[in-house]
Amino acid sequence: MFLKPKARPLIGLDITTSSIKLIELSMSGGQYRVESYAAEATPANSINEKAIVDANLVGEAIKRAIKRSGARASEVAIAISGDAAITKVIQMPRNLSESELEEQVELQADQYIPFPMDEVSYDFEIIGPSEKEPDMLDVLLVATRSDNVSQRVAACKVAGLEARVVDVEAFALENSCRLLTHQMPDGGLNRVIAVADFGASSTTFSVLRDLRVIYTRDFAFGGQQLTEEIMRTYGLNMEDAGRSKKEGGLPANYQTDVLDPFIDDMCQQVSRSLQFFLASGAAREQPEMILICGGCANIPGVAELITSRVGIAAERGDPLGQMKISTRAKNQNVNKDATALLTACGLALRSFD
């Protein structure tokens, strides 16, 4: 199921530990349009460390989001986390037919996958001629434990949806970066750009050269830590703390005692990720800019502070900045949530592959 493009419209469905977000895109005259959108809180105890443990609970939440969004498509693109995926570029002879290539990949796959093959879902995609060996093709092999796929497929079925594409979050993020080119110098062509996507419990720091991801790092840090600090400081439950974080109304010391230290941590995480990137290869170039995405990107002044602390121009990333928005999607606050929609948008873009 991996990497297989479909011409039919697909809903991009991003299932995380904190929320379930879905978005439906169309295209007309070379411009994307958001047709429908909704987000739903992930039910408590239904996901553990990015693995779905209660497909029925998750499926019911997806169903609620679908109903609110008014989405018309019934097929979805979903993603597994990068932690759950094994990716490997292998070389195959260029003169193989499609069926022969498939046979060879199947024969060699077990060399690269450290699990019994009957417990694995895998697929492959031809990248192109190998630079090192002209008679060979570079082939991307992607695999995961079948449970990681079946849990998500089952949740979709509960919601009355069919999972037509199973992707990897890192690939979906790379796919969505084409929606950020309006913010990049020269549209990102021949440029080195960093993208920091702050999720609820984890953050993905990626570096693109010429719009291709050349480095990615996932680490445990996200907006949930701010929510938990609000809970501890003010004695609130999770729901009230999350609402107060978004809507305001916290005591006067919130900025200095809670929010400012969290923003400091954000800056440190970006700085550390840049250091890791620059140390990861001899020819690494300093990124020209950093696009800050995820829910934390909406914290007032955070991009400016990262700019001053890190010394690289930072900007709030907006994947919907060049799109038309339907009234239905506006009513679901899609513009407000735009910074957190990289993965969902990257999955929805599979409609146009």
pLDDT in tens, 124-140: 999 999 988 889 999 99
Other Cβ atoms within 10 Å of 237 Cβ, number:
8
- What is the structure's pLDDT at 7? 54
* Radius of gyration of the chain measured on its C-alpha atoms: 21
For residue 262, how far is the Cα from the chain centroid?
A: 22
Select from 188, 81, 192, 100 the least CA-distant residue to 139: 100
Q: What are the start and end residues of each CATH 3.30.1490.300 domain in the chain?
A: 85-145
In angstroms, the CA 195 to CA 66 distance is 29
Quote the pTM value. Answer: 0.91
In the CATH hierarchy, which top-level class contains the domain 11-82+147-177+323-352?
Answer: alpha beta
Does the pLDDT of residue 11 top 60, yes or no? yes
Q: What are the start and end residues of each CATH 3.30.420.40 domain in the chain?
A: 11-82+147-177+323-352, 180-316
CA dihedral 69, 70, 73, 76 (to 10 degrees): 20
Core vs surface per residue 124-149: b (16+ CB within 10 A) or e: beeeeebeeeeebbbbbbbbbbeebb
pLDDT tens digits along 176-186: 999 999 999 99
Would you identify the CATH topology of the domain 180-316? Nucleotidyltransferase; domain 5 (3.30.420)
> Which CATH number is 85-145 given?
3.30.1490.300
Does the pLDDT of residue 225 top 60, yes or no? yes
Residue 222 tokens, joined:
């996200």
